Amino acid sequence: MLLLDRIQHQAHAVDSLRAAWERGRLAHAYLFWGPEGVGKMRTAQAVSQMVLCTASAPPCGECRACGKAVRFTHPDQILVAPPPREGADAWHKALEAYGQDSYHCWQAPPNASIGIERIRGLKTESSMARVEKGNRMVIIREAERMTPEAAQAALKLIEEPGDGTYLVLTSRDPERLLPTILSRCQRLRFRPLPRAFLEERLAEHDVPARMLAALAQGSLSRALAMLEEDVVALRDQTIALFAPGLRSPAEVRAHLPRGRAWDAARAQISVDLLMMWYEDLLLLRHGLPEDLVTHADRLNDLRLRAQDISLPEIRRRCDIVEELLQAIRQNVGPLLALETALLRLNRLAGEEDLF
């Protein structure tokens, strides 16, 4: 299996790597940057096949070295990544699943980091003789999660990797990396995946593929992670929550969700769903084709609502909902921000009120 041929919708990165390899000018350090779940790690594996393949015309995708690169079992392939919460067993299971399933998405805990000890270990491994003849491949996944001390320690290896050692760093947020690391890596940008591609992947499951694909914002890993959530129920609850008709601050407070039903993470998804709902209303108000509607399972509701709501009102609601999300990102309590937004939506607070 030749991985480079299987990377989809990242033609710029793939073509650049293939051209560099064919000219014998593959860089010794790359930074693959872009959203999560768009193919950065798969492409790093493809580079592993390039540099570790033992065929006369590498990469062949067929030799033992190419197979090991796919399964992360090659002794001269070193992977550094934020550790899973469950420990070493979970790490090995994640690697095994990633090697067996082309569309498996491997996510680390949100607060996991790459510490100085792991980078010191990497430097020690990199200084040792290779187990097999040929090159060495080092992948640092989510490199922005290196602690400041770890990043400084990694810089020396990136500056002087040694003959036959190749590095790929992946990152969702390259601005969090040291400027000196950025300057020493050749950067390749990975873009969000097309919505149609995500819909195709999601169509294998009993879910509203169009809605989830839109909500995923170009990330396959985000789309697949949402399969475990009842997004339809959350969407319906959100629409009901933001429906007009509350007539007093007391009614607003009684209408608020309880407990953890409205935390920051849930608020983010809910706001995204609501903004997609308003986009559908705008689409219908402007007379665009109904087959473009994201919430296609509620098309009749959208038609009725579009007859009653004006374009200025849709824009007003979008502004308030965007300010709600911005307030939460600025650490305003999610329930307090929601209460303020509902008061404004129902014209129970002045439009000049700010979060």
Of 106 and 296, the structure prediction assigns the larger pLDDT to: 296
| pLDDT of 130 | 87
Task: State the average pLDDT over residues 234-248.
Answer: 91
- Give the predicted TM-score (pTM) of the model: 0.86
SS3 30: strand
Angle between helices 264-285 and 334-345 (to 10 degrees): 30
Q: Residue 326: which H helix or E strand, with range? A: helix 311-329
Helical residues (DSSP H) of 242-310, grouped into ranges: 249-255, 264-285, 299-308
| pLDDT of 266 | 85
| pLDDT of 89 | 72
Distance CA 294, CA 280 (A): 7
Q: Residue 29: which H helix or E strand, with range? A: strand 29-33
| pLDDT of 350 | 61
Q: Which of the given ranges, 30-34, 198-202, 255-259, has the highest pLDDT on average?
A: 30-34
On whether the CB atoms of residues 239 and 302 are closer than 8 A, the answer is no
Of 350 and 63, the structure prediction assigns the larger pLDDT to: 63
Name the fold adopted by 3-191: Rossmann fold (3.40.50)
Distance CA 63, CA 1 (A): 9
Percent of the chain's residues with pLDDT above 70: 97
Phi, psi (rounded to 5 degrees) for 117: -65, -40
pLDDT band at 354 (very low <50, low <70, confident <90, very high): very low
Q: Give the closest residue to 339 by CA, choosing from 312, 231, 327, 329.
A: 327
| pLDDT of 170 | 97
Task: State the average pLDDT over residues 199-223.
Answer: 90
pLDDT band at 355 (very low <50, low <70, confident <90, very high): very low
Q: Give the closest residue to 93 by CA, choosing from 110, 111, 72, 75.
A: 72
First to last CA, the chain: 54
On whether the CB atoms of residues 274 and 238 are closer than 8 A, the answer is yes
On whether the CB atoms of residues 112 and 83 are closer than 8 A, the answer is yes
Tell me the per-residue pLDDT of 272-327, one tens digit each, with 9 for 90 and over.
999 999 999 999 999 999 999 999 889 999 999 999 999 999 999 999 999 999 99
Tell me the per-residue pLDDT of 244-277, one tens digit each, with 9 for 90 and over.
888 899 999 998 988 777 888 888 899 999 999 9
Domain boundaries, the chain: 3-191, 229-345
On whether the CB atoms of residues 320 and 344 are closer than 8 A, the answer is yes
Phi, psi (rounded to 5 degrees) for 321: -70, -40
Lowest pLDDT segment from 48-57, 98-107, 154-163, 313-322: 98-107
Of 261 and 337, the structure prediction assigns the larger pLDDT to: 337
SS3 55: coil
pLDDT band at 351 (very low <50, low <70, confident <90, very high): low
Q: Give the closest residue to 155 by CA, choosing from 139, 171, 178, 174.
A: 178
Query: In this structure, which amino acid lies at residue 230?
Result: D
Of 170 and 257, the structure prediction assigns the larger pLDDT to: 170
From the CB of residue 50, how many other CB atoms can be counted at a distance below 10 Å? 23
Distance CA 223, CA 228 (A): 10
The residues near 54 (Cβ < 8 Å, ≥ 6 apart) are 63, 64, 65, 132, 133, 134
Task: State the average pLDDT over residues 6-35.
Answer: 95
| pLDDT of 88 | 66
pLDDT band at 100 (very low <50, low <70, confident <90, very high): confident
Distance CA 180, CA 166 (A): 18
| pLDDT of 252 | 92
SS3 95: helix
